């Protein structure tokens, strides 16, 4: 079947590792359901996979993609929840399963004409959302929803600082935060990006690392080492730092343990979200009228063009591909 996949990895030139073509339909457990993909979306996670990060050689070739919406064989319109749990996982939160994986890590991903997932991972797609809009949600937007509304403890009227105005999660954080009654502040190394964040709904944009006019209730951190001390210093006592990534590295110059206990602060790690949170996110989009910004829509066969744009930083919003 037609799919975009990695047959090898290339840390230096990830695009060279991308294949788009026919591939044998993958084997997955017999009780999984087939979803015929109508729209999928690209993520930086796919580019990391093409570089070989988090994707062992013995799993290649691997179909890429963790975002999609489509139609099951029995005609239900669904959104894919990309967190695959161990069937014996006991717990109330799918992201706490030590054996969890994302689609395209252990099981074939969504950049294909069809993808198979456990029945529980095919979430009803509300008719108010198009397939393209729905395909943008399961990764960056779900991550943002959980960070703000499950993890941060922020209440309407609180101030939330988003470090780094650029990425997909940051864009979702700005939009969702603004429509939930939060005061949204962003930092950015780039003035144009800051302006775009304000156009998207941020109340105010600041240059990265700048001293803020007052302390904030929560910080949303995706940058890591480069912004860590600024994030810690930005918070009021009792404030919460939610971290879902560390694109600038894992090890800041100062770990700031003393500030964490003395100020004191809460640091909450967060990754992806649950099925219930994905449903809540779709309901929030319907209720508020918010929709993800789609940068462009491409045929699946042109996935390379989309990834090239992402690598060049030449993207604002999600890139959707249609098989």
Question: Of 82-141, which residues contact a copy of itself (CB under 8 A)?
Answer: 87-88, 90-93, 95-98, 119-120, 123
Task: Give dist(CA 103, CA 221) in Å, integer.
Answer: 24
If binding is defined by CB under 8 A, does position 225 make contact with a copy of itself? yes
If binding is defined by CB under 8 A, does position 171 make contact with a copy of itself? no
If binding is defined by CB under 8 A, does position 179 make contact with a copy of itself? yes
Peptide bond into 61 cis (omega under 30): yes
Nearer to a copy of itself among residue 42 and residue 223 (C-beta): 223
Q: How far is the CB of 21 from a copy of itself (least distance, A)?
A: 32
If binding is defined by CB under 8 A, does position 198 make contact with a copy of itself? no
If binding is defined by CB under 8 A, does position 31 make contact with a copy of itself? yes
Angle separating helix axes 44-51 and 303-311, nearest 10 degrees: 90
DSSP state letter for 113:
S
Q: What is the 3-state secondary structure (H, E, C) of 89-132?
A: CCCCCHHHCCCCEECCCCCCCCCECEEEECHHHEEECCCCCCHH
If binding is defined by CB under 8 A, does position 74 make contact with a copy of itself? no
If binding is defined by CB under 8 A, does position 28 make contact with a copy of itself? no
Nearer to a copy of itself among residue 46 and residue 277 (C-beta): 277
Closest CA to 296 of 307, 285, 280: 307
Structure-block tokens of residue 247: 């694109």
Whether 164 and 170 have beta carbons less than 8 Å apart is answered as yes
If binding is defined by CB under 8 A, does position 289 make contact with a copy of itself? no
If binding is defined by CB under 8 A, does position 264 make contact with a copy of itself? yes
Q: For residue 286, give every residue at least 6 positions away whose Cβ sits within 8 Å of its Cβ, in sequence order, or none.
A: 126, 128, 129
Closest CA to 159 of 207, 200, 209, 202: 202
DSSP state letter for 32:
P
Three-state DSSP class for residue 313: coil
Nearer to a copy of itself among residue 18 and residue 272 (C-beta): 272
Nearer to a copy of itself among residue 209 and residue 262 (C-beta): 262
Query: Rounded to 5 degrees, what angle do the CA atoms 62, 64, 68 make?
Result: 135
Q: How far is the CB of 305 from a copy of itself (least distance, A)?
A: 30
Which of positions 234-263 make contact with a copy of itself (CB under 8 A)?
Answer: 236-238, 243-246, 250-252, 254-263
- Taking CB under 8 A as the criterion, the residue among 59, 266, 291, 296 binding a copy of itself is 266
If binding is defined by CB under 8 A, does position 299 make contact with a copy of itself? no
Nearer to a copy of itself among residue 133 and residue 158 (C-beta): 158
If binding is defined by CB under 8 A, does position 161 make contact with a copy of itself? no
Give the position of tokens 């990391």. 48
Q: How far is the CB of 93 from a copy of itself (least distance, A)?
A: 6
């Amino acid at each position: 079947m037609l799919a975009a996949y990695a047959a090898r990895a290339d840390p230096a030139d990830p695009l060279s590792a991308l294949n788009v073509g026919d591939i044998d339909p993958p084997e997955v457990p017999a009780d999984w359901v087939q979803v015929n993909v109508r729209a999928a979306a690209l993520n930086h996670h796919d580019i990391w996979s093409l570089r070989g990060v988090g994707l062992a050689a013995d799993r290649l070739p691997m179909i890429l993609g963790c975002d999609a919406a489509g139609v099951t064989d029995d005609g239900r319109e669904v959104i894919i929840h990309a967190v695959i749990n161990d069937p014996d996982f006991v717990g109330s939160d799918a992201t706490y399963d030590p054996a969890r994986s994302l689609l395209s890590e252990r099981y074939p991903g969504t950049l294909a004409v069809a993808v198979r997932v456990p029945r529980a991972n095919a979430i009803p797609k509300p008719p108010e959302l198009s397939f393209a809009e729905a395909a943008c949600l399961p990764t960056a937007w779900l991550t943002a929803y959980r960070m703000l509304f499950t993890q941060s403890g922020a209440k309407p009227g609180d101030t939330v600082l988003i470090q780094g105005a650029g990425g997909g999660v940051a864009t979702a954080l700005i939009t969702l935060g603004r429509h939930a009654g939060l005061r949204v502040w962003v930092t950015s190394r780039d003035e144009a990006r800051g302006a775009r964040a304000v156009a998207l709904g941020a109340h105010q944009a600041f240059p990265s690392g700048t001293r803020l006019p007052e302390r904030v209730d929560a910080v949303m951190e995706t940058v890591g080492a480069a912004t860590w001390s600024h994030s810690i210093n930005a918070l009021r006592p009792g404030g919460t730092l939610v971290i879902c990534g560390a694109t600038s590295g894992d090890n800041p110059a100062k770990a700031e343990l003393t500030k964490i206990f003395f100020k004191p602060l809460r640091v909450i790690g967060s990754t992806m979200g649950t099925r219930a949170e994905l449903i809540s996110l779709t309901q929030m989009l319907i209720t508020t009228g918010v929709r993800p910004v789609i940068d462009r829509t491409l045929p699946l066969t042109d996935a390379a063009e989309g990834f090239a744009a992402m690598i060049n930083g030449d993207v604002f919003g999600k890139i959707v591909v249609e098989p």
